[in-house]
Amino acid sequence: MAALCLLSPQLHAQENEPDPLEPANRAIFSFNEVIDGLLIKPAALIYRGVVPELVRTGIGNVLENARTPVVLANDVFQGEWGRANTTFGRFMLNTIAGFGGVLDVATWAGMPEGHFEDFGQTLAVYGVGGGPYIVLPLFGPSNVRDTAGRVVDIFLDPISLFAPSDVSIGRTAAEGVDFREQNIETIEELKRTSLDFYAATRTLARQLRESEIRNGMPAAYEDIYDESIYDIEPLDDPSEALEDPEEELR
């Protein structure tokens, strides 16, 4: 979300986006904003003010490293063997030489940066549609496919399966505070520049998700323009387009 919140012309909220559950979604969105204002943002501000940046970076590295088994499993499910090899190599190097992931030794060694995969993305790769847009309490934007994917990811995550529930809950809370601290300014800027914060968040969440599913690759032309470029009817006579230059300018 942070990568897309720097608003460009194509990222303005699209009011015509399908959102059949919008009344319920807006209610949950408002609830999340209240919780953010009362708990999460203050915790993020305290975290930033008390914990030195170097330590916060190490904590973020540990949290990212702890998610690697889920990423690796979904790399394999998608048949992304090169990305799976990178994920496994980064995990081993950072866990062993980076003191459990505190230090990002893999990046220092010149390995490709880490990436994020979950079972919702895996389902999308195999053609499963997202379904209606959903705002989850505390977790925020999602859809039916990705919500189901969250449940599967629990069973791919050793910490969720084998660690005490307090550890799993604590990690989730730490991830939330860490994310919020990294994006304090970005979220405030999005709120300031959005006519409708809910609609802007919905648009950005959908575009981010599509980018994640494509592994950052550009969208196909037909996805951008909602039609195949091969279906455009050519002009019988190209000079027809210039019969009335003033009309063309209008």
Residues contacting 236, CB < 8 A, separation 6+: none
Q: How confident is the model at residue 216 (pLDDT cuts 50, 70, 90)?
A: confident
Q: How confident is the model at residue 16 (pLDDT cuts 50, 70, 90)?
A: low
Q: How confident is the model at residue 228 (pLDDT cuts 50, 70, 90)?
A: very low
Could you give the CA distance from residue 165 to residue 237 in angstroms, rounded to a whole number?
Answer: 70
pLDDT for res 223: 55
Tell me the average pLDDT of the chain: 86
Reported as a single tens digit per residue, the pLDDT across 44-68 is 999 999 999 999 999 999 999 999 9
Reported as a single tens digit per residue, the pLDDT across 56-111 is 999 999 999 999 999 999 999 999 999 999 999 999 999 999 999 999 999 999 99
Could you give the CA distance from residue 48 to residue 60 in angstroms, rounded to a whole number?
Answer: 13
Q: In the predicted model, is pLDDT for residue 237 greater than 90?
A: no
At what angle are helices 68-77 and 144-156 packed, to 10 degrees?
110
SS3 state of residue 210: helix
pLDDT for res 6: 38
pLDDT for res 17: 73
pLDDT for res 153: 97
pLDDT for res 28: 98
Q: How confident is the model at residue 192 (pLDDT cuts 50, 70, 90)?
A: very high
**Measured between alpha carbons, how far apart are the two ends of the chain, in Å?**
38
